[in-house]
Every structure is written in structure tokens, then in C-alpha cells.
């Protein structure tokens, strides 16, 4: 038995949800470029769950269930109020999502129908939780979700209490489409491992949020913003990046386990970052990002991943830096739950082996002789 560090290149399951073949990403066989150009996030969520795009009436039905499920229990709001000052936003989301199970009588119902319904509930409630947390920590009352608007619209509305601009809604909706699923990434794998024990969907999504939080995965989008703030201005980019690379430090938002010639989602986020910069009349973050890319690609051959330009996109939308990874979760919960449903539909416990490299032939030594 020989271990493969980080399971690189190991094929751990079959799946018909998303594919990365020769650097091309598809959801249910549809190229991400096509979806980014034309689909709404709600259509994509339906596509991931059901395997095909919805008809107009199927989409309307999904939207009305999302509206119905968007409010969160009052007990969850009371719990969020008790979180200590300075609580990490992903830790808050992980805790609140775990607690949601306590208020869902169907949490333990393992029928396929009940699990799909819970997937829709989770998709509907995550934006409400993130927005409520963001307001409560500022001493403001949470804003109740609106009916009849998209998830992107509702999230921005619940965050600010104001009607968002159409351009902001469109940008966030496209970002949600681009983040929705990504084959067997670490958080999706965590979700599948958890539910393969036949644990419930809330446990699977809680595990996934924990895995997404780390800076080698979804947490990289926040880390990119920390880096942009540290750099401060375009004049400092070259010295900062060269110094980091010389010290063999990682540049957040670059590199990928699967893509070696670039992440197909990054170009859409780069375009969005430029367009939003032009609209707000502030291109500084975009221009700094482009310069960082030139240097990192030039010196290391590494390309930006999905997290790199999303940092400047979300900042242009006025979103605080520590909500970037929770927004990733708001999108990715569609993919996580699709994978959980797929895992349940043909389940086998996921239990690999470890190559033992510790000492052998040891004996118990009584405590007084140690
Ligand atoms: C949504 C997402 O999860 S996308 C990924 C988000 N994460 C990041 O942006 C964090 C920065 N990137 C990284 O840490 C990595 O590229 C990962 C985690 C994404 C992929 O990791 P792995 O496939 O394990 O690659 P690994 O970390 O082994 O890197 C291979 C080599 O490239 C280097 N490298 C990889 N990424 C970077 C980077 N961002 N900056 C500098 N060097 C890097 C490593 O130092 C290593 O060099 P070495 O062979 O000289 O030691
Ligand atoms: O696939 C991965 O390893 C990480 C990633 O890009 C994602 O989850 O979107």
C-alpha cells in the first residue's frame, strides 16, 4: 500500500454532475462559458439537482419554494446574536447551518423527496443566514427576505436593507453561477464522505462549509483581498510579489490541483472585475490584480483560479472581505447538495486506507518506567 499525498490524481467516485476534461468545465455537460453567458443561478441550481435545465413552470415552482424557505427560524437569529464579537463569518455560517437541523422536523427523513426538499431549504436559507449575521454584528436588525426576486437580488437586499442596482445583481448572479459546482473539490468530497455514512444532509453541508473555509480552498478569496490591502497600491505590487515568490510563499488565488493551463472561470471574473471597476470609476484593484497576474504567471507559470478576481469583484459590489467565502458557500451549497443526493442514490461507505509509516514492534511501558 503506497499513499498518494493529497490523493492527487486518484479517481474516488463516478459522478454525472460536473466534469473537468482537458481544462473544460461543464455542469451536467453544459460548458460553463455557455452557462455564465446565459443562465441564472436558480436555473443552474435546478440543473445540478435534476440533471436538466428547468422549463419555465419548473423554474417558477423552484423560485416559489425558495421564497417559501428563505426565512430562518427566530431561534437561529437569537443564536447568531449570542456569537462573540469578532466571530469568523465562516465559523458563524457553519454553526448556524448545523443548528438549522434542530429546527427541521424532516432532518432525519432519508427519502429522496425529503432530501431534495432539504437541499432547496438549505439553498434558500444560507443567504438569509449570512446577511443576518453581517447585520447583527453591526448592531442592526436583520432584514427579512423578499419574495419574487432572485437569490442574488435578495442577498444584496438583506445585506444592505436597500434595493440593489441591477448591475450588481447581474454580477453577483454570474459569480454564483461560476462557483456552483466543481467536480470532487475538497468541500464536496467532505460532504460526500460525511453522508456516505448515511448521516443527514445538514451534517454533509456542515462538513463542507468547514472544508471550504480553509485558505487553500474557498478561503483563498478573502486571503486575496488581504493581500491586495497589504500591497496597498500598484507601485508596491512588483516588490511585494517578487519578495513573496523569492521566499517561496504562496500567492493566494493562484494555482490549482486540476487546472494547469488556467481556470476557465477566472476570465469571466476578470472581465467582471474590469467592468465593475469602470462603472464605479475605481480601477485600482483591477489594475493591481492584472499586474499581480503578469508577475506570478511570468515568474512561476501559475495562472489565477476562481478566487483571484472574485476578490476585486465583491469589493466593487461593496461586500465586506470576510463575507467573500460565505458567498462562495451560498453558491456551492447547490453543488454540495446535488452531490449529496447523488451519493445517497448509489451509496457505499467511503473508507480508504492509510499507509502506516509509524514505529513497529513497540511495547506498553508502565507509567512509572517512562
Ligand atoms: C476554489 C479553490 O479552492 S481554488 C484554489 C484556492 N487556493 C488558493 O488560491 C491558494 C493558493 N494555491 C495553492 O495553495 C495551490 O496551488 C493549491 C492548494 C490550489 C493546489 O495545491 P497542490 O495541487 O497541492 O499544489 P502544491 O501546493 O503542491 O504546489 C505545487 C508547486 O507549485 C507551487 N505553488 C502552487 N500554488 C502556488 C501559489 N499560489 N503561489 C506560489 N507557488 C505555488 C508550490 O509551492 C509547489 O512548488 P514546489 O514544487 O517548488 O514545492
Ligand atoms: O476543484 C478544486 O480543487 C477547487 C476549486 O476550484 C473549486 O472548488 O471550485
Ligand 1 centroid distance, CA of 250 (Å): 7
Report the pLDDT averaged over residues 174-189: 98
Strand partners, 30: 27
Report the pLDDT averaged over residues 318-341: 98
Q: pTM of this prediction? A: 0.98
Residue 120 has phi, psi (to 5 degrees) of: -65, -40
Q: Is 306 in the pocket of ligand 2 (CB under 6 A)?
A: yes
Atom of ligand 2 nearest to the CA of 20: 1
Q: Quick check: 54 pLDDT over 90?
A: yes
Q: Is 6 in the pocket of ligand 1 (CB under 6 A)?
A: yes
Give 166-181 pLDDT, tens digit per residue. 999 999 999 999 999 9
Residue 300 has phi, psi (to 5 degrees) of: -120, -10
* CATH numeric code, 16-214+323-345: 1.10.580.10
Rounding to the nearest 10 degrees, give the CA dihedral for residues 229, 176, 271, 260.
80
**Identical topology for domains 16-214+323-345 and 220-316:** no
Ligand 2 centroid distance, CA of 216 (Å): 10
Q: Is 335 in the pocket of ligand 1 (CB under 6 A)?
A: no
Domain boundaries, the chain: 16-214+323-345, 220-316
Residue 104 Cα distances to 69, 76, 109, 172, angstroms: 11, 12, 10, 29
Give 13-37 pLDDT, tens digit per residue. 999 999 999 999 999 999 999 999 9
Please give the class, per CATH, of domain 220-316.
Answer: mainly alpha
Active site residues: 256, 307
Q: Is 253 in the pocket of ligand 1 (CB under 6 A)?
A: yes
DSSP collapsed to 3 states, 19-85: EEECCEEEECCEEHHHHHHHCCHHHHHHHHHHCCCCCHHHHHHHHHHHHHHCCCCHHHHHHHHHCCC
The predicted complex's ipTM stands at 0.99
Alpha helices (H) along 101-179: 112-136, 151-160, 166-179
Residue 182 Cα distances to 170, 177, 332, 368, angstroms: 21, 11, 9, 54
Q: Quick check: 1 pLDDT over 90?
A: no
Give 270-313 pLDDT, tens digit per residue. 999 999 999 999 999 999 999 999 999 999 999 999 999 999 99
Cβ pair 193, 350 in contact under 8 A: yes
Atom of ligand 1 nearest to the CA of 186: 3
Q: Look at ligand 2, atom 8, and give the residue with the nearest C-alpha.
A: 185
Q: Is 257 in the pocket of ligand 1 (CB under 6 A)?
A: yes
Amino acid at each position: 500500500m503506497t499513499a498518494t499525498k493529497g490523493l492527487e490524481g486518484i479517481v474516488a467516485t463516478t459522478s454525472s454532475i460536473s466534469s473537468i476534461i482537458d481544462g473544460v468545465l461543464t455542469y451536467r455537460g453544459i460548458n460553463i462559458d455557455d452557462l455564465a453567458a446565459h443562465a441564472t443561478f436558480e436555473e443552474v441550481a435546478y440543473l445540478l439537482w435534476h440533471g436538466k435545465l428547468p422549463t419555465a413552470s419548473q423554474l417558477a415552482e423552484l423560485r416559489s419554494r425558495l421564497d417559501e424557505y428563505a426565512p430562518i427560524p427566530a431561534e437561529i437569529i437569537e443564536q447568531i446574536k449570542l456569537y462573540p464579537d469578532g466571530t469568523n463569518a465562516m465559523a458563524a455560517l457553519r454553526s448556524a447551518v448545523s443548528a438549522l437541523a434542530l429546527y427541521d422536523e424532516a432532518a432525519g427523513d432519508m427519502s429522496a423527496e425529503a432530501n431534495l426538499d432539504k437541499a432547496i431549504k438549505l439553498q434558500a436559507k444560507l443567504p438569509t443566514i449570512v446577511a443576518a449575521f453581517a447585520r447583527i454584528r453591526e448592531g442592526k436588525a436583520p432584514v427579512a427576505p423578499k419574495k419574487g426576486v432572485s437569490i442574488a437580488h435578495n442577498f444584496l437586499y438583506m445585506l444592505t436593507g436597500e434595493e440593489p442596482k441591477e448591475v450588481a445583481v447581474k454580477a453577483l448572479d454570474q459569480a454564483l453561477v461560476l462557483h456552483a459546482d466543481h467536480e470532487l473539490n475538497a468541500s464536496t468530497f467532505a460532504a460526500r464522505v460525511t453522508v456516505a455514512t448515511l448521516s443527514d444532509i445538514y451534517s454533509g453541508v456542515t462538513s463542507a462549509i468547514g472544508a471550504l473555509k480553509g485558505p487553500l480552498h474557498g478561503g483563498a478569496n478573502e486571503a486575496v483581498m488581504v493581500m491586495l490591502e497589504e500591497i496597498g497600491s500598484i507601485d508596491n505590487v512588483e516588490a511585494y510579489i517578487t519578495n513573496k515568490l523569492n521566499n517561496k510563499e504562496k500567492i493566494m488565488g493562484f494555482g490549482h490541483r486540476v487546472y494547469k493551463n488556467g481556470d476557465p472561470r477566472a476570465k469571466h471574473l476578470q472581465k467582471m472585475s474590469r467592468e465593475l471597476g469602470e462603472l464605479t470609476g475605481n480601477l485600482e484593484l483591477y489594475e493591481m490584480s492584472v499586474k499581480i497576474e503578469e508577475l506570478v504567471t511570468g515568474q512561476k507559470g501559475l495562472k489565477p483560479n476562481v478566487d483571484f478576481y472574485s476578490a476585486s469583484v465583491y469589493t466593487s459590489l461593496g461586500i465586506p472581505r470576510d463575507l467573500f467565502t460565505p458567498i462562495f458557500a451560498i453558491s456551492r451549497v447547490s453543488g454540495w447538495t446535488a452531490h449529496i443526493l447523488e451519493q445517497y442514490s448509489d451509496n457505499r461507505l467511503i473508507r480508504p486506507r492509510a499507509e502506516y509509516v509509524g514505529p513497529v514492534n513497540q511495547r506498553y511501558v508502565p507509567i512509572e518506567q517512562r
